[in-house]
Amino acid sequence: MKICVVGAGYVGLVAALSFAKYKNDVICVDKDIKKVKQLNKGIPTIYEEGLEPLLNKCLKKKYILFTNNINKAINLSDVIMIAVGTPTKPDWSVDISQVVDASIEISKGINKYKVIIIKSTVPVGTHEIVENIVLKNGVDIKDFDVVSNPEFLREGRALNDFLHGDRMVIGCKSKKAQKVMDELYRPFKTKIINTNPPTAELIKYASNALLATKISFINEMANLCSKVNANIDTLSYGLGLDSRISPEFLRAGIGYGGSCFPKDTKALVNIGEKYGCEFNIVRSTIKVNENQRLKPVEILLDHYNKIEGKTISLLGLTFKPGTDDIRDAPSLFIIDELLQMGASIRCYDPMVSEEIKSLFPNITYCDSIEDTVRDSYCTIICTELDEFFKMDLESIAKKMKKPMLIDGRNMIDIGEARKSGFSYYYSIGNGSF
């Protein structure tokens, strides 16, 4: 099939490469010319496992090319997938301007029947907005169909999720478009749910809101565990063995981040308000998470009273392992708060990007764990990176000014921390001393 993917971000790039892997002719369009040039050279613009070799293989075989010429790409394609960003506005409504702009561009390039797929996460009713834009731009109703096809991939496992996801949701009103969608996803061995566009649009928000709620719930349980000498890991294990609950998303920590949960939970509350439906549970989920991500600062203040002038080290900056994405990562909120209190920050993340350096130019970015913790009054683990499981705790404790460890991801065994010379250790519901 001839496929055009609009947007070469986390979702668009992964989708485009997955279609190219199955020998479709894929043109991936991005308005960012720097991205386009870099991708055409075989250099990934994001980190995801397996992405670089697949990109180079598909480029070599000419299954994919990147361009900023959307008109030509639309002309040449049968299927157009919109995978642009849909950020949240300060009032929690969804900014669909990138989807609107892409739809206007797409309508200008329609020269024969096309299926326009909305892959971006969009509020219910957006399929109609896109349809109306294309019609308003003079395209005949017979020459296109709009399909809602939200994406459920997880960063850090994006390629695998796209290729072998738990399910694919297709919200489609036309039999003709349905046939095209069936063909598009035939090579993907995944369960397909065919439904109407509003259901498809909503299922994405429902899914993210429920997962975020599980995280906030377990974090509140962890905070109680900390007070009563209970153990959150055992509690989560016990909970997860109940097949009605499942063990997924029951790991306590300093909260969720990333480009999806924070924005999609807010969006669902905002969408609900428009239809007179209060999402009180989701509202609380958001509030719990906002408090949880600052838990390390609360612990620090309990311990030191004053943080001004003290060096604090952070291990891990991205919102989770396996990605270079720092959008809404808990680390950003911790750094911001500590800087406001006058602390000096040293940090380490092997995925550290120019993006975070430009957000916080006045903190020290180190190349190793050992260098990071030097002379600090506390080390905070913010991301569950493999190398933190294996770090030399004894040597770290020795290098610090005060051997204090806040384990925001419950990675370190409490006994090991004690044995290694830490004088203070705090985990999220897993024991402290």
1, 2, 31, 339: residue in contact with ligand NAD (rule CB under 6 A): 31
The beta-strand segments (E) located in 155-277 are: 167-171, 191-195
Tell me if 260 contacts ligand NAD by CB under 6 A.
yes
65, 102, 130, 254: residue in contact with ligand NAD (rule CB under 6 A): 102
Shortest distance, CB of residue 319 to ligand NAD, whole angstroms? 10
Tell me if 6 contacts ligand NAD by CB under 6 A.
yes
Residue partners of 316: CB distance under 8 A and separation at least 6? 331, 348, 349, 381, 382, 383, 384, 385, 388, 409
Stretch touching ligand NAD by CB under 6 A, among 95-103, 179-187, 342-350, 358-366: 95-103
**Rounded alpha-carbon distances, angstroms, from residue 365 to 101, 332, 351:** 38, 14, 11
Question: Angle at the Cα of 287 (from 202 to 199), degrees rounded to 5?
Answer: 5
Shortest distance, CB of residue 45 to ligand NAD, whole angstroms? 8
> In whole angstroms, what is the distance from residue 98 CA to residue 258 CA?
19
Shortest distance, CB of residue 29 to ligand NAD, whole angstroms? 5
Tell me if 212 contacts ligand NAD by CB under 6 A.
no
Closer CB to ligand NAD, residue 267 or residue 343?
267
Stretch touching ligand NAD by CB under 6 A, among 10-18, 181-189, 246-254, 347-355: 10-18
7, 197, 316, 431: residue in contact with ligand NAD (rule CB under 6 A): 7
Q: Check if 277 is active-site.
A: no
Catalytic residue among 28, 225, 260, 347: 260
Tell me if 259 contacts ligand NAD by CB under 6 A.
yes
By beta carbon distance, the residue nearest ligand NAD is 9
Residue partners of 191: CB distance under 8 A and separation at least 6? 166, 167, 168
For residue 99, give the nearest of 148, 53, 155 by alpha carbon.
148
382: its two tokens:
């913010």
Tell me if 235 contacts ligand NAD by CB under 6 A.
no
If binding means CB under 6 A, how many residues of this protein chain bind ligand NAD? 28
Q: Is 145 in a helix, a strand, or coil?
A: strand
Q: Is 4 in a helix, a strand, or coil?
A: strand
The contact mask relative to ligand NAD for 53-92 (x = CB under 6 A, - = no) is -----------------x------------xxxx------
**Contact yes or no for 219/330 (Cβ under 8 A):** no
Shortest distance, CB of residue 289 to ligand NAD, whole angstroms? 17
Closer CB to ligand NAD, residue 80 or residue 380?
80
**Contact yes or no for 205/92 (Cβ under 8 A):** no
The beta-strand segments (E) located in 18-122 are: 25-29, 64-67, 79-82, 114-118
For residue 410, give the nearest of 216, 156, 222, 210 by alpha carbon.
222
Please state the separation of Cα 18 from the chain's center in Å.
19
Residue numbers 119-138 binding ligand NAD by CB under 6 A: 120-121
Q: What is the DSSP letter of 368?
A: S
Which residues form the catalytic set?
260
Contact residues: ligand NAD, CB under 6 A:
6-12, 29-32, 35, 70, 83-86, 98, 101-102, 105, 120-121, 151, 153, 155, 259-260
